[in-house]
């Protein structure tokens, strides 16, 4: 059985930022300093590869990828 989306996302993001993520999936990764605008593009590229989705440039905003929970919502909406 494949790992749940949030678990897969946590692995992808932790591997990209090379740091553990906060336990709370709602916590802002930008406010905690784990992500910045430069790291965002790396994280989104890794998400695209992991989930075989394409994130349009218009969606490359911190608002959509601010937390693990927001990333999960985004990926879930684009997996169909």
Q: Tens digit of pLDDT for each residue in 15-55?
A: 999 999 999 999 999 999 999 999 999 999 999 999 999 99
Q: Is residue 5 within 8 Å of 60, Cβ to Cβ?
A: no
**How would residue 3 be classed by pLDDT, with cut points 50, 70 and 90?**
confident
- What is the predicted pLDDT for the residue at 57? 94
Q: What top-level class would CATH report for the domain 5-17+29-78?
A: mainly alpha
Q: What pTM was computed for the model? A: 0.92
Domain boundaries defined on the chain: 5-17+29-78
């Amino acid at each position: 059985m494949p790992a749940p989306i949030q678990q897969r996302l946590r692995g992808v993001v932790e591997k990209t930022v090379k740091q553990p993520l906060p336990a709370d999936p709602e916590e802002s990764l930008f406010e905690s300093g784990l992500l910045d605008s430069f790291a965002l593009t790396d994280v989104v590229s890794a998400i695209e590869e992991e989930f075989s989705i394409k994130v349009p440039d218009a969606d490359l905003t911190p608002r959509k990828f601010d937390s693990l929970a927001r990333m999960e919502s985004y990926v879930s909406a684009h997996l169909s």
